[in-house]
Amino acid sequence: MTTTLIEANSIESLLGKEAEDLLTYKAKVPTDLLHLPGPDFVDRIWLNSDRNPQVIRNLQLLYSTGRLAYTGYLSILPVDQGIEHSAGASFAPNPIYFDPENIVRLAIAAGCNAVATTLGTLGILSRKYAHKIPFIAKINHNELLTFPNQFDQVLFADVEQAWNLGAAAVGATIYFGSEHSTRQIQEISKAFKRAHELGMVTILWCYLRNNAFKQDKDYHLAADLTGQANHLGVTIEADIIKQKLAENNNGYGAIAKATGKSYGKTDERVYTELTTDHPIDLTRYQVLNCYSGRVGLINSGGATGKNDFAEAVRTAVINKRAGGSGLISGRKTFQRPFEEGVKLFHAIQDVYLSPDVTIA
């Protein structure tokens, strides 16, 4: 196994005042209810599924690449921000990434399991790099050039194009809770079926999007709502779920109260027996909704800020201790100098390599 570059005390230092709580907390839902990551994850989970041998091979390829190879954990570089956030907003902080080759170079230098990006980026470089790092072709996007801006994930590519350029997996986003979610579910379910037929892994960005979810708190980050989005994602046979780290809970109740209308279905035991307000419990509920961890949960790293290293390590610790399968970190890494981006990835990966960061 690859050795860590930062010691446990460095992880504690980055966690600051939260270190003891995050590193010693015992989760509400016991681990014996979960299927946890490990070197045998693909054999243990996927050999009994309906996935064909080519999908199993590509799943194993993802879990066997980079610094986290054969650990059961994933570290992925995603760069589809040039579409939704515009190329200027995404790459002006570090203009080398207008050249897509530097995106792939960063993922390789950082020891990532895979790089997830657009059809155009992967297509223009596929012959040089498809055999050097697994490609995840993101097939739908939301663009904000249309005026007025609208929030809708639309297909920019089809599954055959991803297969032709040598992708090991396809990625897609569904805005669960949005007015367009029904169409998106149908489109991506059909695309994932075709991807599996061609032997590719399926990864779903299970994001929430509805203005009603912003009340006294931003309930786009509620454990109960994001957990249900995850459950819808695994229902259409996503092999890996990408989700934002939960920061609050009881979105169902808050939205019903704020709107004065009945909303969704839940159970009081979600809040009394399955979760607390601790971030590890909130994330464990997300894992629980991924078929109890049979489908790996990777949390997103979030936007760049003043304390990126500390925030990234904190997210990784929460994800790992909750029973998640890794981190997918974009803007925090590519919106900084190349070597700093590599170091940030290594800091994240070291959490998953550290025997001192255990399952809660």
pLDDT band of residue 229 (cuts 50, 70, 90) is very high
Structural domain that includes position 82 = 11-353
* Least confident interval from 72-86, 185-199, 225-239, 279-293: 72-86
Residue 3 lies in a domain: no
pLDDT of residue 225: 98
Q: In this structure, is residue 68 part of a structural domain?
A: yes
Q: For residue 331, what pLDDT is reported?
A: 87
The mean pLDDT value for 43-71 works out to 97
- Among candidates 359, 239, 354, 226, which has minimal Cα distance to 291? 239
Average pLDDT, the chain: 95
| Position 192 confidence tier, pLDDT thresholds 50, 70, 90 | very high
pLDDT at 204: 98
Beta bridge partners of 201: 169
Distance between CA atoms of residues 169 and 139, nearest Å: 10
**Residues 321-338 pLDDT 10s:** 999 999 998 888 999 999
Cβ burial 121-143 (10 Å sphere, 16+ → b, else e): bbbebbeebbeebbbbbbbbbbb
**Does 65 have pLDDT greater than 90?**
yes
Q: What is the DSSP letter of 98?
A: G
Res 330: pLDDT = 85
pLDDT in the model for residue 232: 98
- Percent of the chain past pLDDT 70, that is, above it, reads 97
Determine the average pLDDT of the residues in 189-206.
Answer: 98
Residue 39: which CATH number?
Answer: 3.20.20.70
Give the pLDDT score at 82: 75
Residue 4 within a domain: no
Is residue 214 situated within a structural domain? yes
Contacts by 253-260, CB closer than 8 A, 24 or more apart: 254/215, 254/216, 254/217, 254/219, 254/222, 255/212, 255/213, 255/215, 255/219, 258/212, 258/215, 258/216, 259/212
pLDDT category at 3 given cuts 50, 70, 90 is low
Q: What is the mean pLDDT of residues 12-16?
A: 93
Task: Evaluate whether residue 358 is within a structural domain.
Answer: no
Question: How much is the pLDDT for 4?
Answer: 58
- Over range 170-177, report the average pLDDT: 97
Is residue 255 in some structural domain? yes
pLDDT band at 304 (very low <50, low <70, confident <90, very high): confident
| Residue 6 belongs to some domain of the structure | no
Query: pLDDT band at 278, cuts 50/70/90?
Result: very high
Q: What is the pLDDT of residue 7?
A: 58
Q: Tokens 């995404």 map to which residue?
A: 90
> How confident is residue 5, by pLDDT bands cut at 50, 70 and 90?
low
Q: Looking at the predicted structure, is the pLDDT value of residue 8 above 90?
A: no
Angle of helix 223-235 relative to helix 279-288, nearest 10 degrees? 20
Which residue's structure tokens are 């016991």? 30
pLDDT band at 89 (very low <50, low <70, confident <90, very high): confident
Residue 80 pLDDT: 82
* pLDDT band, residue 2 (cuts 50/70/90): low
pLDDT computed for residue 77 by the predictor: 96
Active site residues: 242
- Total domains in the fold of the chain: 1
Q: Kindly tell me if the per-residue pLDDT of 155 is higher than 70.
A: yes
pLDDT higher than 70, residue 106: yes
The answer to whether position 360 is within a domain reads no
